[in-house]
Amino acid sequence: MKTGGFYVMMLLLAGVNIAGCKKELSTQSGQPLQSSEWLVPGKNAPDWENKTIDGIGPAQVMEVTDPSIKPELIQSSVVLVYANLGGYPAHIRQPGKIELTRLLVSYMRGNNPRTDVWSGMPVPGKMLILLTNPDNEYDPYGNAPGHTFRYFFVPKYDPNSAGKKPADGSSNLMAKYSETDLRNMSYEQFCEAAGLKK
């Protein structure tokens, strides 16, 4: 499949909804490309809960059920979790800015500095969106309206698979992008390359 096929396949992802999570689109190796829609806590996704996560500790968690997230999918994918943290005031974070997690947001709470750490963690059957900070306190911004999240499972580049990069620079499906390439892209660049609606 030529690069144009990749664009068509990624365009189809834009219509995927979280309830079914997912329309699976087969690559040449048989691995599906998967995406969530933009997730809004308390609306089309669960609300925040305070939990203790193994290996992380106390956290504020949005736990999205997604049966398609299986161990083999996690192992064979580059997992990209984007955040638009619109719940912060403009003087703390630029409105509309979308970035790949792990994201650190620093600000003052009274006279005390604080850094909120946002991350995404897939586990079998679920995607966890996590907020941690040293005080384990999430007001006033952690559960503020305006935060949204979107995740992608992108098949890893495998030089031994059918997606191998040809010497002429053309590519099949995801072979054009290494994990480093994907993680170095802005959300806008990723959407442009994939032919996705932002």
pTM: 0.78
Which structure tokens are listed for 35? 């995406």
**Number of domains observed in the structure of the chain:** 1
**pLDDT on residue 157:** 73
**pLDDT per residue over 35-76, tens digit each?**
899 999 999 999 999 999 999 999 999 999 999 999 999 998
The parent domain of residue 142 ranges over 3-194
- String of DSSP letters for 143-169: T-TTEEEEEEEEEPP-TTSTTPPPTTS
pLDDT digits (tens, 9 = 90+) for 154-165: 888 766 554 444
Q: According to the model, what pLDDT value does residue 18 have?
A: 34
Q: What's the pLDDT score for residue 2?
A: 40
Give the residue ranges of the chain where pLDDT is below 70: 1-33, 158-176, 194-196, 198
3-state secondary structure of 46: coil
Contact of 114 with 135, CB cutoff 8 Å: yes
Running DSSP on this structure, what letter comes out for residue 37? -
- Beta-sheet pairing, 103-109 with 32-35: unpaired
